[in-house]
Amino acid sequence: MPKYRIKHITRYSYPSPVTDSANQVMLFPIDDPMQEVKKHELLITHQPSVEVFTDYFGNKVGIFSVIKPHTQLTIESLIEVIAKDAVTPDSQIPAASQWENLSIVGEQFPYMDFMLRETCKAEYEILAVVKSFMGEDIPPFAVAEQMSNFVFTHFEYKKGITSVETEVDEIWEIKAGVCQDFAHVLLVMLRMVGIPARYVSGYICPKNHELRGEGATHAWVEAYIPFHGWIGLDPTNNCIAGDRHVRLAVGRNFTDCTPVKGTYKGSSAHTLEVSVTIENGQPRSETELSTPVFTYQVHNPGTPDNSYRKFMEMQQQQ
């Protein structure tokens, strides 16, 4: 069982002082039988008091405010966690029994929340694809794996062409994107055939820098498999999520799991820098530890004003 040390730094810089910054963070690693949290620290400039609560989906959420004028806000999350490998579903249970079970639980709490169908123009085209994976003797997990493989095979991993607001129709048309886009498409496909599916926000922890999504928050999907429970599928890397995946939050979609978001009073111009470094026993260089892997800039005259600005963190999950 590998042990990881993860440092996630989010830094906002403003050209002129801003005030009344109110923020929400979902940077608390999930502590359950699949991963053991050994340590977690949240360090924030100006040392605000962080109030922590549990949301509807069971995630820990922190909220804090910085009232005084400031030109920089840094949120640093330090995690030590032991991740455990996934256990695959029992293949001996008849497929018909599993599908029958899904037809029942899909209308029950809490699974019904993860069955919400997304309206899209490409619905019939996507449905034609997912039906090709179905069969009387094919169990839900095998169908889910085939769907994940389809996304991995038919979609190009390409940064910079989508955003957190890109809709599934556009992703399906361009057949490209990053991890949150791959997860988005897989969610739609799974729910179409009656498999509850939820979005997962977290980190991927490569051994030799061979996996997509390193250096930023990562996203994948968990499918509910009858008589087994939730199991993670990573369509970006075409694998089952196991001891190289660390979970932060789960929800219906990205919006439910946004790592950092907030509002403030002041100029809309700002720069967002994000860096994620992961150690698994091998030391990282100072350059690797300090270089931001994601930078987002909003350009606007730096003169403060009295309007109430709202910005969701545009830290696209890679």
**DSSP string over 149-212:** HHHHHHSEE-TTS--TT--HHHHHHHTEE-HHHHHHHHHHHHHHTT--EEEEEEEE--SSS-ST
Res 214: pLDDT: 67
**pTM, whole model, 2 decimals?**
0.90
Q: How confident is the model at residue 130 (pLDDT cuts 50, 70, 90)?
A: very high
By mean pLDDT, which of 131-145, 232-246, 280-294 is the weakest?
Answer: 280-294
| Mean pLDDT across 277-289 | 62
**Nearest CA to 300 among 312, 289, 309, 288?**
309
Domains located in the chain, CATH noted: 3-83+258-312 (2.60.40.2250), 95-254 (3.10.620.30)
Confidence of residue 296 (pLDDT cuts 50, 70, 90): low
Tell me the mean pLDDT in the region 223-239: 97
Look at residue 243 and tell me whether its pLDDT is greater than 60: yes
Cα–Cα nearest to 236, from 185, 191, 192, 309: 185
What count of Cα atoms within 13 Å lies in the side-chain half-sphere of residue 133?
21
Average of pLDDT values for 290-305? Answer: 56
Give the Cα separation of 192 and 123 in Å (integer): 9
| Mean pLDDT, residues 111-130 taken together | 95
What pLDDT does residue 208 have? Answer: 64
pLDDT of residue 23: 96
Task: Report pLDDT for 308.
Answer: 46
pLDDT at residue 283 above 60?
no
Go through the chain and tell me how many residues it has: 318
Whether 241 contacts 1, CB under 8 Å: no
> Using an 8 Å Cβ cutoff, are 270 and 16 in contact?
no
3-state secondary structure labels for all residues of 11-28: EEEEEEEEEEEEEEECCC
| pLDDT band at residue 306 under the 50/70/90 scheme | very low
Q: At 268, is the pLDDT very low, low, confident or very high (cuts 50, 70, 90)?
A: confident
Percent with pLDDT over 70 in the chain: 86
The CA distance from 280 to 296, in Å, is 28
**CA 291, chain centre distance (Å):** 22
Does residue 272 carry a pLDDT above 50?
yes
Residue 37 pLDDT > 70: yes
Burial profile 225-246: b = 16 or more Cβ within 10 angstroms, e = fewer: bbebebbbbbbbbbbbbbbbbb
210 Cα distance to chain centroid: 20
